[in-house]
Amino acid sequence: MSIGEQSGSLPRRKGQTMSEAPTASTETMEFKSELRQILHLITHSLYSNKEIFLRELISNASDAINKIRFNSINNSDLLDGDTEWKIKLIADKDKNTLTVSDNGTGMSRDTIIDQLGTIAKSGTRAFLETLQQADEASRPELIGQFGVGFYSSFMVADRVTVVSRLAGDPKDQGVRWVSAGEGEFTIKTVDKETHGTDVTLHLKEDEKEFLEEWRLRQVVKEFSDFIEYPVVMDVERHEPVEGEDDKEDDKTEAVVREETLNSMKALWLRSKDEIEEDEYNAFYRQISHDYGDPAKVIHYTAEGLTEFKVLLFIPAKRPFDMMFGDPKVGPRLYVQRVQIMENCEELLPPYLRFIKGVVDCADLPLNVSREILQQNPILDRIRKNIVKRIFTVLEEMKKDEFDKYVAFYRELGPILKEGMAQDFENRDTLTTLAVYESMNTEAGKYISMDEYVDQMPPDQEEIYYLIGEHRGMLERTPYLEVFRDRGWNVLFMTDPIDEFVMSSVDEYREKKYKAADKGDIAADEEGKARAEDDEKTFQALIEALKGKIPEVQDVRLSTRLKDSASCLVADEGAMSAHMERLMQRMGEGGGQTTKRILELNAGHPVVQGLQKLHDSDGEDVRVESIGRLLYEQAVVAEGSKLDDPVGFASRINDLLVKELIRI
């Protein structure tokens, strides 16, 4: 079915006729394979929140109008005289179709082929996997966030027709795209009078509710109320017949009027006191594709050298595009109510890419290229101002609503933390904002950096941390023994980004950072006194083991072990075992491992026994096998894999046999 067949109900714009003369033959093309899978999932497994298809189509239409308004600032020829911006919904009950029509920028043939069929965006595969695993209720949300919104049409339609013409193209260069959302689509060059796009959904039998006025009103109100262009629909009303005398005032006639369904309120221009929380939340959902409410709303007008209005949201959950694909950084930038950019990267650093919202500044020139805008000092001023404000709001949340803040930080902290490595100027603030689990806090409880430093006993000089996959593993490592003994706390870091961040920071509040599993831990007074004697007693054994265990770069007595017999530590500045495992998982590092230092606990009976054995007979073969077992148990304790598990098992079995013979 062509859009022309709907002539009676299409929006009547200036100069528009409804005829469409095909000018070329129809070409059939295949969807990119990932898209095919996405479409299959959308059509066969999404049953809840189907109505979001309308939000996605209206949002695309609004973007297209934004685009033509912006492009026409410097090229008014694009407009064809058609500047009554609107998005029209046309429900045709006879044909069972719903059309979303816009007079935006439209699409050329190439754009349509690319955008609606063949482009696989980065991260598509990852998206697909997540979509398959996600529970049904969260799937539509994922679709919106990933930017495959158009395809959600196939949740309710068994065929979709798109007729579009790019503004500036001749009228015979319109294009019609038709697909049933299966393997392929057809494409054909057609005439189209006006620029813009008509998306027509041929509704499935059981989706006819989307032809009903009340249902469309409801969906627009819920999901698209703040779209800044009118979303209109022809509505039939029975009105009193004019000119009749009063006695017959019950006589009515059917009148069709175009009604606007959305309120179009530019929320950021209104005063804060007048805005209900629900309105903020609804606006947030509209611009973020999030289903939940934001953690915080930041709404203010900055006055002074530059005046601008800001409405930003701190999400409570990590947006989907943060995990896969290219996240879009930066709020929308408006100048005199025209959207200049959908994501103004210049306004926020990458580690605040989860912040959504709008910045509206009347002082910026409207007809200006992106390049010039980038060098504009006003943007720099706005950026500093909003970044500072975001930090203030986060600090307040941390102070006043700690549990809520921790929930936020668990979701978005890994992104925020990137700033500790990237943004030297704000490093201290970002460190103040960081919260971690720690050895002395129970599982799931977090402490801030300031709490950690404030609680350091007088004899502790450094900030100790331990990085690993998860708390359970960290808690059991031998590295913590000395800290437990001394009553010093250790921060637990379990985000993959922590290795990267900690390798690029040095100190906080004049306290140096130190990894609990690297370098030396200074002995206390008592330990120092013992150490000298121990050095002498164990020297010969240590020298012997260095020769027998070439896997380690050094063997020494430990100041960190209290209960365990041995552990492996990295040199200060060397890569930790955790980092090596991370890199191996990413396929980097070529499986190379840096040699570590084997530390032995001089107070442990096994180490003491081994020393005696070596002392009585330096050539005894058991020196090597027991020494090797001390090394191997340390490998297991740090969470790494043994190079020779079979040898390890046979060494253990030799010991077990001796033990069992005694029974």
Contact residues: ligand ADP, CB under 6 A? 56, 60-61, 64, 102, 104-107, 115-116, 147-151, 197
CB of 353: closest distance to ligand ADP in angstroms? Answer: 16
User: Least distance to ligand ADP from the beta carbon of 87, Å?
Assistant: 9
User: Which of residues 107 and 131 has its CB atom nearest to ligand ADP in the complex?
Assistant: 107
Closest CB to ligand ADP among residues 67, 217: 67
**Closer CB to ligand ADP, residue 149 or residue 330?**
149
Would you say 98 or 575 has its CB closer to ligand ADP?
A: 98
Q: Measured at CB, which residue is nearest to ligand ADP?
A: 147
CB of 110 to ligand ADP, least distance (A): 11
Of 116 and 516, nearer to ligand ADP (C-beta) is 116
Question: Which residues touch 339 (CB under 8 Å, ≥6 apart)?
Answer: 66, 69, 70, 332, 333
Nearest-approach distance from CB 61 to ligand ADP, in angstroms: 5
If we measure between CA atoms, which residue out of 386, 201, 290, 186 comes closest to residue 176? Answer: 186
DSSP string, 588-604: -GGG-----EEEE-TTS
Instruction: Between 166 and 545, name the residue whose CB sits nearer to ligand ADP.
Output: 166
**Please, what is the Cα angle at 232 between 230 and 236, to 5 degrees?**
150
Task: Return the structure tokens found at 387.
Answer: 């970044």
**Contact of 318 with 354, CB cutoff 8 Å:** yes
Nearer to ligand ADP (CB atom), residue 104 or residue 168: 104
Which stretches within 468-592 are classed as H helix?
A: 471-476, 481-486, 497-502, 525-548, 577-585
Cα(175)–Cα(190) distance, rounded to whole angstroms? 5
Q: Please state the closest distance from residue 60 (CB atom) to ligand ADP, in A.
A: 3
CB of 291 to ligand ADP, least distance (A): 17
Distances (CA, A) of 240 to 15, 233, 243: 32, 21, 9
Residues 353 and 349: their CA atoms lie apart, in Å, by 7
For residue 599, CA distances in Å to 378, 529, 629 come to: 58, 18, 13
Cα–Cα dist 247/5, whole Å: 43
Residue 51 C-beta: closest distance to ligand ADP, Å: 16
Q: Nearer to ligand ADP by C-beta: 197 or 224? A: 197
Q: How far is the CB of 138 from ligand ADP (least distance, A)?
A: 18
Residue 170 beta carbon to ligand ADP: minimum distance, rounded to whole angstroms: 18
**Maximal C-alpha separation, the chain:** 126
Cβ distance to ligand ADP smaller for residue 64 or 382: 64
Location of structure tokens 């003491």: 608
Sign, CA dihedral 441-446-451-453, equals positive
Q: Report the half-sphere exposure of 605 (CA within 13 A, side-chain side).
A: 0
- Using the minimum distance from each CB to ligand ADP, give the nearer residue, 124 or 576: 124
Q: What angle do CA 625, 629, 631 make, to 5 degrees?
A: 115
What would the DSSP string read from start to end of 24-80?
S--EEEEPPHHHHHHHHHHHHH--SSTTHHHHHHHHHHHHHHHHHHHHTTS-GGGGT
Q: Which is nearer to ligand ADP, 82 or 102 (CB)?
A: 102
Distance from the Cα of residue 426 to its chain's centroid: 22
Report the candidate in 289, 382, 294 with the shortest Cα–Cα distance to residue 334: 382
Between 195 and 596, CB nearer to ligand ADP: 195
Q: How far is the CB of 290 from ligand ADP (least distance, A)?
A: 14
- Shortest Å distance, C-beta 65 to ligand ADP: 9
CB 169 → ligand ADP: shortest distance, Å? Answer: 13
Q: Give CA–CA dist 276/552, Å, rounded.
A: 64
Q: In sequence order, what DSSP letters do the residues of 116-162 get, joined into one string? A: III---TTHHHHHHHHHHS-GGGHHHHHHHHT-GGGGGGGTEEEEEE
What minimum distance in Å lies between the beta carbon of 299 and ligand ADP? 26
Closest distance to ligand ADP from the beta carbon of 550 (Å):
56
Nearer to ligand ADP, 10 or 433 (CB): 10
The whole-angstrom distance between residue 377's C-alpha and the CA centroid of its chain comes to: 29
The distance of closest approach from Cβ of residue 166 to ligand ADP in the complex, given in angstroms and rounded to an integer, is 9
Smallest CA-to-CA distance from 543 within 601, 595, 621, 598 is with 598
Report the distance separating Cα 38 and Cα 372, nearest Å: 39
Range 201-229 burial, b when 16+ CB lie within 10 A, else e? bbbbeebeebbeeeebbebbeebbbbbbb
Q: How far apart are CA 324 and CA 174, in angstroms?
A: 34
For ligand ADP, the closer CB: 70 or 648:
70
The H or E element spanning position 396 is helix 377-400
Given the complex with ligand ADP, which of 56 and 599 has the nearer CB atom? 56
